[in-house]
Amino acid sequence: MAHNINHNSKTCKDAFFSVKEKAWHGLGTIIADYPTSAEAIKHAGLDFTVEKRPLFTVNGENYEIFKDPETDEYMNAFEPNILVPKYYTTMRTDTDEVLGVVGKEYHVVQNVDAFSFFDSIVGGKDGILYETAGALGNGERIFITAKLPEYIKVGKSDLIEQFLFLTTSHDGFGSITASFTPIRVCCQNTLNAAMKNQTGAVKIRHTANAHERLKQAHQLLGITNQLSGEMEELFNHWSKVKITDRQVKKLVQMALAPNKETLDNLKKGRQDEFSSVFNNMVENVLEYSATSPTQQLDTTKGTLFGTYNSVTGYFQNVRNFKNDEAKFNSIMSGNALGKAQATFDLCNDFARIGVNALN
């Protein structure tokens, strides 16, 4: 099951919801209006709690496995009778499914607490707007995307929506992570970028003070406000910086270069040294830049802002991925994010020092 969306066998529902847009892989629930956090939890099938319970093993001498003829499942012939010290299981209380094995310092953060964290960032009924939420696997990992009410505006009408993305787990792997994710409205390009060493994310460990740290994590709102202000100023500046087709190609080549050897060949003008895979990727980015209607606006056509969008737009709208999950992971934390960041840094340098940034 490539989508990995949790399916609750008791309720026969998929743990995912989306507002207006088609749900992931056609699964889950599509709703017409933005829900409250309480409604979102139910729509997404996240209205379950998780408990940390003692972990037991069996006595090797009395251990036997048999196959239940009615359910065709393997079962233990004897009850577990040896306590495993310092380790616990995390379990869903609605289905009794084991989600993970954790240490004694691990603290469960319930799904409702993750939504409460988002509610407290903005506050008020007109604050945060829940777009999607869901659970993966047996429910060990959950995710939430929520839209902030204000836009980043480039030029007169090129709008960028501001999203917050949160993911947490119940299996002992990974921190609670909440991040700022701006998305350009007209083409749904994810414009992630690190500015002034600010990553746009907060990470919170599953320790005993995780609840308190969630309450104090309003620093994410400060990060969001700072980044959105900086991005608006920067992107508006980029939209006024002109760049030639030749310079666009050189910048894109440098941003997409897979290794230092390719970069060195670029600087020496050895175009014949490049692989066909690399050349094809560059040409696809340039084709998107030249033909996409979203690249023909006053803010993007022949501008530095358009160059940045040509790379993010390629990964968002052109590049083929194995599945939606692979695409999401690449754009949010993988190769696509790395290439977008490299493009962002080169554009920033070009805006400051001009063509010397490409030498």
Place of tokens 């500015």: 195
Cβ pair 171, 100 in contact under 8 A = yes
Q: Is the pLDDT of residue 326 over 50?
A: yes
Give mean pLDDT, residues 96-100. 94
Q: What rounded mean pLDDT belongs to the chain? A: 86
Give residue-wise pLDDT tens across range 221-233: 777 888 889 999 9
Q: Is the pLDDT of residue 116 over 60?
A: yes
Give the whole-angstrom CA distance, residue 88 versus residue 100: 8
Q: Is the pLDDT of residue 2 over 50?
A: no
H helical segments located in the chain: 37-43, 111-122, 210-215, 219-238, 245-256, 260-267, 276-291, 304-317, 324-333, 335-353
Q: Is the pLDDT of residue 71 over 80?
A: no
Give mean pLDDT, residues 312-334. 88
Q: Is the pLDDT of residue 26 over 60?
A: yes
Q: Is the pLDDT of residue 201 over 90?
A: no
pLDDT tier, 1 (very low <50, low <70, confident <90, very high otherwise): very low
pLDDT value at residue 179: 86
- Mention every residue, 6+ apart, whose C-beta is less than 8 A from residue 271: 265
Q: Is the pLDDT of residue 312 over 80?
A: yes
Element (H, E) at 103: strand 98-103
Q: Is the pLDDT of residue 23 over 80?
A: no
Give the whole-angstrom CA distance, residue 240 versus residue 7: 49
pLDDT value at residue 264: 85
Give mean pLDDT, residues 87-113. 93
Q: What are the phi and psi torsion angles at 155 (to 5°)? A: 65, -150
pLDDT value at residue 3: 63
Give mean pLDDT, residues 57-63. 64
pLDDT tier, 134 (very low <50, low <70, confident <90, very high otherwise): very high
pLDDT value at residue 76: 58
pLDDT tier, 287 (very low <50, low <70, confident <90, very high otherwise): very high
250: Cα separation from own chain's centroid:
29
pLDDT value at residue 25: 62
Q: Is the pLDDT of residue 133 over 90?
A: yes
**Whole-number Cα distances in Å, 278 to 258, 335, 336:** 8, 14, 14
